[in-house]
A = this chain, B = another copy of it.
Amino acid sequence: MHRPVPKAFGFDVFGTVVDWRGGVIRDVTRFLAEAGHSAIDPAQFADTWRMQYLTAMAAYSASGRGFVTLDILHHEMLEGTLRRFGLNPASLDLQAIRDLNRAWHWLDPWPDAVAGIERLRSRYPVVTLTNGNIEMMLNMARRSGLQWDALLGAEVTRAYKPAPEAYLRTAEILGLAPHNLCLVASHHADLAAARACGLATAFIARPMEFGGAPPPDASEAQDWDWSFNGIDELAEVMASRWHP
């Protein structure tokens, strides 16, 4: 089947482009050692922190709270995670907690990401479509050599995925009809919400995102417009389909 080729690509970042788990485990390990709590498993701590994300997003949407950045939400989730592991945030060094919270700024891309995005960008506009805030995306990109055409997402649209405005406003900002923008993501729930808004969908398999464990949204898999094992494969296929 020949699906229409998108005019631009919007990338989910955490999990799809960068290995959040590896980077967060690295910084959690150091934090726990320095705080004298090396008995806590850093991988379990990282997973607990991340798993609060879905709950926090739902609570955020329901709360009617004004827009706050993911850095702030991450900090709140981190305090919750510390408590879950029996640590009282108030008894710990605040600067150390703040530094740990910035683990999400310094994540490493998957091996295919930098070159894949560079190749895709040689033909198509490629932007972030992330719940991460701009400073986080900027730090991550400068550290790793990732290069985007624009850092779009929650801080620009003032809406967190999977809210429809997160996808629709991004398309509008780019001057595109929704079907001309393709969400690239390793998460079925994100792709499902984008498809419901009329966006094109490209799935990237990231079997190691949860350290080899099955992803929490495995049951939401659909027949996406495209499906790839890496961003290099996506770039290869879109290069062959490109007509200027």
Closest to A170 in B: B134
A150 to B128, CA, bound (A): 11
A174 at the A/B interface (Cβ < 8 Å)? Answer: yes
A147 at the A/B interface (Cβ < 8 Å)? Answer: yes
A149 to B150, CA, bound (A): 8
Number of interface residues of A (CB under 8 A): 19
Task: List A130-186 residues whose CB lies under 8 Å from chain B.
Answer: 133-135, 137-138, 141-142, 147, 149-152, 155-156, 173-175
Residue in B134, B138, B149, B156 whose CB lies within 8 Å of A142: B149
Q: Are A173 and B133 in contact (CB under 8 A)?
A: yes
> For A141, what are the chain B residues with a Cβ–Cβ distance below 8 Å?
149
Shortest C-beta distance, A126 to chain B (Å), equals: 10
Q: Are A134 and B155 in contact (CB under 8 A)?
A: no
> For A142, what are the chain B residues with a Cβ–Cβ distance below 8 Å?
125, 149
A142 to B120, CA, bound (A): 13
With contact pairs A155-B156, A156-B155, A156-B156 given, residues A150 and B175 touching in the complex (Cβ less than 8 Å): no
Closest to A147 in B: B147
A142 to B7, CA, bound (A): 14
- Apart from A134-B156, A138-B149, A155-B156, what 12 extra A-B contacts exist at CB < 8 Å? A125-B138, A127-B138, A134-B173, A134-B174, A135-B174, A138-B174, A141-B149, A142-B149, A147-B147, A150-B151, A151-B151, A155-B173
Mark A residues whose CB is within 8 Å of B. 125, 127, 133-135, 137-138, 141-142, 147, 149-152, 155-156, 173-175
